[in-house]
Amino acid sequence: MTHPESSITATFNSSPYYHPVSYPGTLNAGSMSYDQCSEAIKVMLITFGVVVFVIQIVQVSCVW
């Protein structure tokens, strides 16, 4: 038996009638386009990487 939501996939198309659904007061209240979402994920990953790198540098410098 599979989970009922496992077959649901997000669809992004260029139809003028398509608009992402957002529900006020929930986690997707500020839903955005696919391009904006992928850019936000890239920025988040780069920021996380920089933070981890700085923490590693601080740890290494404390040992010396």
Q: Kindly give the parts of the chain with pLDDT less than 50.
A: 7-8
pTM above 0.85, yes or no: no
pLDDT in tens, 21-34: 667 777 666 667 77
Structure tokens at 58: 């601080």
Domain ranges of the chain: 32-64
pLDDT at 35: 82
pLDDT at 55: 94
pLDDT at 29: 64
Q: Can you give the three-state secondary structure of the chain, one letter per residue?
A: CCCCCCCCCCCCCCCCCCCCCCCCCCCCCCCCCHHHHHHHHHHHHHHHHHHHHHHHHHHHHHHC
